[in-house]
Amino acid sequence: MAKPKLFSPGPIDVAPETYAAMCGPTIGHRGADFEELYASVQPGLQEIAGTSRGVFLNTSSAWGIMEGSLRNLTQKKVLNLCGGAFSDKWYGVAKSCGKEAEKIQVEWGQPIDPADVRAKLSEGGFDTVTLVHNETSTGCMNNLAEIAAVVREFDDVLLITDTVSSFSAVPTPFDELGIDVLLCGVQKALALPPGLSLFVASERAQARAATTPDRGYYFDFVEFQTNHEKNNTPSTPAIPHIYGLKERVDVMLAEGLENRYARHAATNQALLDWAAGHGFESLAPEGFRSKSLGCFVTPDDLDLSGWIKAVRNNHGFLINGGYGKIKGKTFRISNMGNETLETMQELFVALDEELPKFRK
């Protein structure tokens, strides 16, 4: 059986042109050929990230940078902002790294209240905050600008932001917002296979890292900066991924970032409209819904697993049946990456054809 086209929220569908680009020649990563490749992706990535700082490339999932950020930057105590599977896990990772950690916990699908962040930080003792901008498990997008502004009220507190499923789908202007670490993986809106992560670190973050003992090597921010200045990486890079990244960045800039953001907004609205037309309720409240995916509450009269299986087997499309503790209670559909109104409509036709067979 042919593999289905992925409308799950990561990894997502990868274009044939991207796979072709990834088949570039193997080159030495300690020479001019790689340095040229590394340098060639920087201007575009900086434009997408809204920064004049370097965008570091690392061979790992985003979790490597999520853990590495704590090891580099948390010297006192971290405040984890939790409201879904990935933001909740960040608190557990902090504890497993031996870091002192507290959390603000909201119900899955609900946004973080910036006022609560201010109140908690006012208690003192914190030097880092972790935020998942777009919680992929719930389809809830937090107000990054407002939360970043609150954190900036506290001079010694650094903000680490996961933009795994929002980077390049919506604006995330690093310099303008005063974020200290912005990180993502490439398997979501960037539409590459998993295996590469990107991050930007502020001058404040780099200065903090330089004074942090036991920060390790593989994710050492100081090593990344030192090697970046030579257009290189601290350890062996995933060169095929960087070829693919170059191809995707070029495509994004040719489309135009504002056009790209508008396309994601349009495909997401089409998804929300389709769901509302069938009585499917979004888990996240209005005003805080992701622009790159939808997460919907599974109604009692729907055989979710049967519907998903039929859509896959009969039409070759795969959506996701929920994640973590809300698996089966919700389902998720991606509109990120390369999707258009036309490709989303193809999915809706398939979903609609099978849906009546699985509603009681």
The CATH number of the domain holding residue 22 is: 3.40.640.10
Handedness of CA 73, 46, 287, 148 (dihedral sign): positive
pLDDT, position 1: 64
Is 332 within any annotated ligand binding site? yes
Per-10-residue mean pLDDT, the chain, length 360: 92 97 94 97 98 98 98 98 98 97 98 98 98 98 98 98 98 98 98 98 98 96 98 97 98 98 98 98 98 98 98 98 97 98 98 96
Per the structure block, which two tokens stand in for 222?
A: 């100081």
- How far is Cα 96 from Cα 98, in angstroms, rounded to an integer? 5
pLDDT, position 2: 84
Q: How is 230-259 classified by DSSP, letter by letter?
A: TT--SS---HHHHHHHHHHHHHHHHH-HHH
Output DSSP code: residue 123.
Answer: T
Type of residue found at 219: F
Q: Are residues 201 and 262 in the same domain?
A: no
Maximum distance among all Cα pairs of the chain, rounded to whole angstroms: 63
Domain interval for residue 90: 17-253
Q: Are residues 138 and 30 in the same domain?
A: yes
The CATH number of the domain holding residue 330 is: 3.90.1150.10
Number of domains in the chain: 2
Q: Are residues 199 and 104 in the same domain?
A: yes
Report the SS3 class of residue 97: coil
Per the structure block, which two tokens stand in for 313?
A: 């087997």
Type of residue found at 52: S
- How far is Cα 284 from Cα 333, in angstroms, rounded to an integer? 14
Q: Are residues 102 and 128 in the same domain?
A: yes
- How far is Cα 267 from Cα 331, in angstroms, rounded to an integer? 17
Q: Are residues 79 and 214 in the same domain?
A: yes
Handedness of CA 205, 209, 215, 221 (dihedral sign): positive
The residue from 204, 236, 253 where one domain ends is: 253
pLDDT, position 360: 84
Q: Are residues 173 and 91 in the same domain?
A: yes
